[in-house]
Amino acid sequence: MAAAFSIQTMGGHAIEAKLASLARAFGDLTPLMETFGGILETQTSERFEAETAPDGSRWKPSLRARQDGGKTLTDRTTLRGSIHSIPSRLSVEIGTNLVYAGVHQGGAKIRAKTSAGLRFQLPGGLGWRRVMEVEIPARPFLGLSTDNGEELLEEAEAYALDAMGGEA
pLDDT above 60 for 2 = no
* pLDDT at 64 (0 to 100): 84
Q: What is the per-residue pLDDT across 60-88, written as a single tens digit (0 to 9) for each? A: 999 889 888 899 999 889 999 999 999 99
Split at pLDDT 50, 70, 90, the class of 11 is low
* pLDDT at 118 (0 to 100): 94
Q: What is the per-residue pLDDT across 104-130, written as a single tens digit (0 to 9) for each? A: 999 999 999 999 999 988 777 789 999
pLDDT above 60 for 28 = yes
Q: Once rounded to an integer, what is the mean pLDDT over residues 9-36?
A: 81
pLDDT above 80 for 12 = no
> What is the spatial distance between Cα 130 and Cα 149, in angstroms, rounded to a whole number?
44
Task: Please report, for the chain, the start and end positions of each structural domain, with discontinuous segments joined by +.
Answer: 13-99+141-163
Determine what percent of the chain is predicted with pLDDT higher than 70. 91
Residue 63 phi/psi, 5° resolution? -60, -40
**Taking the model in full, what pTM does it have?**
0.81
Q: Which residues pair with 136 in a beta bridge?
A: 108
Pairing verdict, β 118-121 and 108-111 = unpaired
